[in-house]
Each structure stands twice: as C-alpha cells, then as structure tokens.
C-alpha cells in the first residue's frame, strides 16, 4: 500500500518564552520533530509544562517558533486562510463570548469560516445535538457549566467539517459520561476519514483511542510510535486468580512464596514473573486442591512506558 | 476578507453595546448635556451659545472617556479571556481582526456621539431665549467623532503590545498633545537653529493634530459656514488612521499568545 505524505509535519521545532527583561528565556520546546498522517488518531502526551500546548499554539499560529518548520497539508502553516479552513481547533479550557448564546457563537464561527447561513444553521443543529447541547442553543454562554463549554468548544472545532482536528485536552473538565461521549465523537471522526491530533495527560483515554502517540517531556520528544508497538510484547507479570484462598502451608507446598500475591475476598491473586513460573505455580496449586480461575499476562500500559521514559519522579502531571 | 472583518466588527459592536459601564458614562453624559438647559439661565450673555459651548465640550470629554475606556481593552480583553484563540485559529488574518475590532468600536462610538449630539440639538432648539435649529452642532459632533475614531486607533495600537493602564496613559497623553501640536510648530519656527525648526516640524507632522477636528468654537460663535471642512478632516483621519492601523497590524502580526 502506498502511504500518502503526512498532513502535518513538524521539523526541529524549538521555542523559548522570555521571562523578564534581565532573565534568561525559558525553553519550552527543543528540536521537536514528528508527523501525523491522514486518518490517524494521534495522541500528544506529556505532563503539565511538557510543551504540548505550545506546540498546538504554533500549529494554530497563536505562537511562532524560534526555529524549525511546521508544514500543514504540504504548505507552510503561515499559508493562511485556505489551510485554516481545513483545520478545526479546540483550545484547552475554551473561553467564549459570554454575552452570546451557543447558537450565536456558532453562527459567528460559521461566518469566519466562510460558511453560508443555511450550512451554518444545519451544521450547528447537528453538532449541538451530537455534543448534547441542543437544549442550550439559545442559552447565554455565561450560564454554561465547564463541561458545557468544553462541548461547545468541540462543536465549534467541527463546525466547518475540517479534515484535521486539533484538540487540546478535550477531556479536561468532563464527567465520565462526557468523556465517553467525546471518545465516541473522536472515533466517529476517524470513521468519517478525518485526522485527529489531541493532547492529553489522561493516559487511559489516549491508550483507548489513539493509533499512535507522541510523548513529550520538558519540551523534548521522549517516545513516538504506534500504541501496540510501544506497549509491545513485553509482559510485566502473569496474574493468576485462584479459588479458594489457600493457607500459607499449602501455598508453600505448592512452591509459592508468601509474598507472591494477596487475598481479594474469596479469591487469591498471584503474580508470577514469567510463563515458566506461572506453569509451575499452576501445577502446584492444582496439586494442593486450588482452582485456577484465570491466568492473564499483564503487559505494560502507556502509563508504565511514560513513567519509564520521563524518569518517574520528576513528572508532575501524568496520571490515571 | 470583508465578510470576516464585518463579522468581527458586528461581534465587537454587540460586545460594546452590552457593556454596562458604557451605558453609565452615556447616561451621565446625556444628563450633563440636558442640564445645560438650566445652566444657560445662570450665566450672562448669549444663552444659546453657552448651551452649544458647554454641550459640545461635554460630548467631547465623555466621548474621549468612552473611546479610551473601550479602546484600551479592545485587544487585551480578547487575549486575557483567551477568546482570541478561537478567532485566530479560524481562517482569520490578524489584520482582519484588528480592522474588525476597530470598525466595531467605531460604530458604537458613532451611535453614542449621535445620541449625545441629538440631545444637545434638541436642548439648543428648545431653549426659550434665542434657541434655534443649529445644524453646526452635528458638524462639530462629526469632528469630535472623527477625533474619537483616531483615538480608538491609537488605543488599539497600544493595546497590541502593552497593558490597559499604560495604553490609557499613552492614549490620553496623545489626546492632550494632539490639541497642542500647533504651538509646537509655532515655537519651533521661532528658533534660529535650522535643526530645531526641522525637528519641531517633524514632530508636528508625526503626532496627531486633533485640532483639525475641533470646530466647537466656530459653532458656538456662529462662524461655521460650510460642510466642506468635513471632507478635509475626513481625509486627514483616513490617512493618519491607516498609518496607525498598519503599525498595529505589523506589531500584532508576530505576537505570541502565551
């Protein structure tokens, strides 16, 4: 299969921000390079202060790099209106004109994107319904909750049916139901042939959604790859669930050390280091009258990979 | 391009006319203009002239307060509230944003100036001792409005790179200096040093000459004869405002939003 060129290409991007007249500028991005291909969902991961939002601002012309190049759809990012029409963007914790209603705000966005009034109205209705805000169309934005603002932010990003959707922390401020809905919308976008590039520090969301991830720490890329490649074949341990909870002497007789697991109600959960040890323990457990209910190899998750790459203790925001 | 500028202008207009502080200033201005009806009775001389004189001065002062108050926050509010992130991520060029914001505020100022001028006209017309339909009130108000537009452009220029407080100080300083530049020219011309004469002329042409829009005295003393002066002043406004807006756009074009 011939793969198309990237629709987003970042080459050796660096950015510093001045911190005062006399003080040294703080470098927030160093030599970042990565690519996003059509119809991918790419997660941009990193703790707070890693440089995710700065990168996204550069992609949206809200900041300018000190060095490096961003190419969108084969043209430079500054190419302007034509390129911008193909991109939808939702900033982190989006803010809107509070004196407008949700419907009026989307109408303004439609006008800025060059959409006809009829198109704007029909897309607004469709999207407000999709994000669960159809009842709040005529409500002033100042009365919206944080979650509603987040949903409206998503609606305005998708209003002009962009090919590339850039979302900065789209799950932030949402309740579990809202997060699930946003995950559904992102999956629908991929199914419709769109490309999604989103930043997050909620690793479980990224792991569940993304084709590829790019990990950032202190402005530098620390890992990039397909989720299954990063997670890889490496098994952390093999988890055995046994019933009933055997006493210590029978576990010892089965060749299982006392600190190999823990009791969880009427079940005993054991962690074997590898397949060989798991096989030996299973044989011993069966011999001692136990029943092995399950035997599951537990692989590394993105969280473990992330903590490994950023050194664990000095990351501040990587959670869940 | 024009559609985007008009959309931003319409939104800015909507934002400013919903500003409660603007209404407070406007209400106070209308009250003061209305009070000139009674003030004239307390003074000696040409009563109707007092009404025109004090009324136009009120329109001028309150107009400047509105222009500076709204102008200095024109860009900075959008940056502080991060609403600019959404606008500039759309197919909107940064100069379109600046033009749209300035246009929107100019429309708001047009309505407020028109409201104040109309009230003054009615007060002047209805005054029982020598009141008459003085069209000059609208001509002088048009001059004040043009000055307000220029101040708005200057305030928006400052708001692209500094804080609202500093923007207000810079704009008000230029407002004061702008009414005194002719003295700078005259004083410079009296110097025997050629360099001083050239420097004073350079500064005279560089700074806004707001006296070009000032016809208050002509109206009060009945010397304003023709609408043609509006044309020359409008030409000066367009040329000067274009330069200021171009400078704003240049400064804003490479601004980073942290």
**Sequence ranges of the domains in chain A:** 8-231, 235-299
Q: Greater confidence, A1 or B6? A: B6
- How far, in Å, are A196, A231, A297 from residue A235 at the CA level? 30, 9, 6
Predicted pLDDT at A4: 64
Is the pLDDT reported for residue A312 higher than 60?
Answer: no
Q: Which residues of B touch A99 (CB under 8 A)?
A: 14-15, 18
- Give residue A215's pLDDT band: very low, low, confident or very high (50, 70, 90): confident
- Give residue B130's pLDDT band: very low, low, confident or very high (50, 70, 90): low
Predicted pLDDT at B129: 61
The stretch A131-155 carries a mean pLDDT of 87
Is the pLDDT reported for residue B9 higher than 90?
Answer: yes
Are B49 and B132 a contacting pair, CB within 8 Å?
no
Window from A91-105, B159-173, B190-204, B214-228 with minimum mean pLDDT: B214-228
Strand order in the sheet with A267-272: A261-264, A267-272, A235-243, A291-299
**Interfacial residues of A (vs B; Cβ cutoff 8 Å):** 17, 57, 60-64, 80-82, 84-85, 87, 89, 91, 93-97, 99-100, 108-109, 111-114, 153, 156
CA-based nearest distance A165→chain B, Å: 11
Mean pLDDT score across all residues of chain A: 84
Residues A41-86: tens digit of each pLDDT = 998 888 888 888 899 999 888 888 989 888 888 775 555 677 888 8
- How many residues would you count in chain A? 320
Both structure tokens of A43: 């997660």
Residues A253-283: tens digit of each pLDDT = 888 888 888 888 888 999 998 889 999 999 9
Both structure tokens of A236: 């952390």
CA-based nearest distance B91→chain A, Å: 4
Report how far residue A30's alpha carbon sits from residue B67's, in angstroms, rounded to the nearest whole number: 43
Q: Which of B77, B101, B85, B80 is CA-nearest to residue A157?
A: B85
Report how far residue A108's alpha carbon sits from residue B174's, in angstroms, rounded to the nearest whole number: 35
- Give residue A165's pLDDT band: very low, low, confident or very high (50, 70, 90): very high
A246's CB contacts (< 8 A; 6+ apart) are: A254, A268, A285, A288, A289, A290
Predicted pLDDT at B153: 93
- Give residue A313's pLDDT band: very low, low, confident or very high (50, 70, 90): very low
Report how far residue B224's alpha carbon sits from residue B229's, in angstroms, rounded to the nearest whole number: 9
Q: Classify A114 in phi/psi space as left (phi over 0), alpha (psi -120 to 50) or beta.
A: left
Q: Classify A74 in phi/psi space as left (phi over 0), alpha (psi -120 to 50) or beta.
A: left
Q: Phi and psi (nearest 5°) for B150?
A: -65, -40
Q: Cα A301 from chain centroid? A: 13
Q: At the top level of CATH, which class does the domain A8-231 belong to? A: alpha beta
Bridging pattern class, strands A41-45 and A26-36 = unpaired
Predicted pLDDT at B146: 94
Candidate from A84, A91, A97 with C-beta closest to B11: A97
Report how far residue A59's alpha carbon sits from residue A48's, in angstroms, rounded to the nearest whole number: 19
B112's CB contacts (< 8 A; 6+ apart) are: B22, B26, B29, B63, B66
Predicted pLDDT at B197: 85
Predicted pLDDT at A320: 35
Predicted pLDDT at A315: 43
The stretch A125-131 carries a mean pLDDT of 89
Percent of chain A with pLDDT over 70: 92
Residue of B nearest to A156 (CA): B86
Q: Phi and psi (nearest 5°) for A30?
A: -130, 110
- How far, in Å, are A10, A33, A71, A218, B103 from residue A29 at the CA level? 12, 10, 17, 7, 37
Window from A295-299, A304-308, B75-79 with minimum mean pLDDT: A304-308
Query: Is any Cβ of chain A less than 8 angstroms from the Cβ of B86?
Result: yes
CA-based nearest distance A111→chain B, Å: 7
Q: Which residues of B touch A96 (CB under 8 A)?
A: 83, 86
Strand partners, A199: A44, A168
3-class SS of residue A69: strand
Candidate from B7, B88, B91 with C-beta closest to A108: B7
Residues A174-193: tens digit of each pLDDT = 788 888 888 888 999 999 88
ipTM: 0.78
Q: Greater confidence, A154 or A82? A: A154
Percent of chain B with pLDDT over 90: 30
Predicted pLDDT at B237: 92
Residues B54-110: tens digit of each pLDDT = 888 999 999 999 999 888 888 888 888 888 898 888 888 889 999 999 999 999 999
CA-based nearest distance A116→chain B, Å: 11
Query: Is any Cβ of chain A less than 8 angstroms from the Cβ of B20?
Result: no
Both structure tokens of A244: 């009933």
Predicted pLDDT at A316: 44
- Give residue A319's pLDDT band: very low, low, confident or very high (50, 70, 90): very low
Bridging pattern class, strands A87-90 and A164-168 = parallel
CA-based nearest distance B236→chain A, Å: 31
Residues B188-202: tens digit of each pLDDT = 888 888 888 888 888
């Amino acid at each position: 299969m011939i793969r198309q060129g990237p629709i987003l290409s970042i080459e050796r991007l660096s950015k510093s921000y001045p911190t005062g007249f006399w003080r040294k500028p703080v470098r927030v991005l160093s030599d970042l390079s990565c690519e996003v291909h059509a119809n991918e969902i790419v997660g941009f991961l990193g703790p707070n202060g890693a440089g995710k939002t700065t990168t996204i601002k550069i992609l949206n012309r809200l900041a300018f790099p000190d060095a490096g190049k961003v190419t969108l759809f084969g043209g430079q990012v500054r190419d302007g209106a034509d390129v911008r029409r193909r991109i939808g963007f939702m900033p982190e914790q989006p803010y809107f004109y509070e004196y407008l209603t949700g419907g009026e705000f989307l109408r303004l966005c439609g006008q800025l994107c060059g959409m006809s009034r009829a198109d704007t109205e029909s897309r607004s209705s469709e999207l407000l319904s999709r994000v669960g805000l159809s009842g709040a169309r005529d409500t002033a934005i100042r009365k919206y909750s944080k979650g509603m603002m987040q949903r409206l932010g998503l609606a305005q990003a998708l209003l002009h049916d962009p090919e590339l959707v850039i979302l900065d922390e789209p799950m932030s401020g949402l309740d579990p139901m809202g997060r699930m809905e946003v995950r559904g919308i992102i999956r629908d976008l991929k199914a419709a042939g769109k490309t999604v590039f989103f930043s997050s520090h909620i690793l479980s969301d990224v792991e569940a959604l993304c084709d590829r991830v790019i990990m950032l720490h202190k402005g530098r890329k620390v890992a990039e790859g397909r989720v299954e490649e990063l997670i890889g074949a490496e098994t952390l341990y093999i988890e055995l669930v046994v019933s009933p909870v055997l006493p210590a002497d029978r576990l010892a007789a089965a060749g299982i050390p006392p600190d190999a697991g823990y009791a969880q109600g009427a079940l005993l959960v054991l962690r074997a280091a590898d397949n060989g040890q798991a096989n030996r323990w299973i044989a011993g457990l069966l011999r001692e009258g136990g029943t092995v209910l399950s035997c599951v190899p537990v692989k590394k998750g993105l969280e473990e990979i992330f903590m490994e790459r950023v050194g664990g203790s000095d990351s501040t925001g990587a959670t869940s | 391009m024009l559609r985007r500028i008009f959309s931003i202008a319409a939104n800015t207009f909507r934002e400013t006319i919903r500003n409660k502080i603007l209404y407070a200033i406007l209400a106070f201005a209308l009250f003061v203009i209305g009070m000139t009806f009674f003030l004239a009775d307390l003074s000696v001389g040409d009563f109707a002239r007092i009404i025109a004189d004090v009324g136009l001065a009120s329109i001028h002062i309150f107009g400047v307060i509105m222009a500076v108050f709204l102008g200095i926050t024109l860009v900075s509010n959008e940056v502080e509230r991060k609403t600019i992130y959404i606008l500039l991520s759309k197919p909107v060029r940064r100069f379109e944003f600046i033009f749209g914001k300035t246009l929107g505020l100019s429309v708001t100022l047009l309505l407020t100036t028109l409201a104040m001028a109309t009230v003054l006209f009615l007060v002047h017309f209805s005054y029982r001792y020598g009141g008459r339909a003085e069209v000059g009130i609208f001509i002088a108000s048009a001059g004040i409005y043009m000055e307000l537009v220029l101040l708005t452009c200057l305030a928006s220029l400052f708001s692209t790179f500094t804080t609202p407080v500093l923007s207000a100080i810079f704009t008000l300083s230029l407002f004061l200096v702008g009414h005194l530049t002719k003295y700078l020219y005259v004083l410079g011309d009296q110097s025997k040093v050629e360099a001083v004469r050239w420097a004073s002329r350079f500064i005279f042409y560089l700074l806004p000459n707001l006296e070009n829009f000032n016809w208050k005295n002509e109206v009060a003393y009945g010397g304003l004869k023709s609408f043609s002066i509006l044309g020359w002043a409008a030409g000066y406004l367009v040329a000067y405002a274009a330069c200021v807006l171009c400078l704003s756009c240049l400064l804003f074009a490479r601004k980073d939003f942290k």
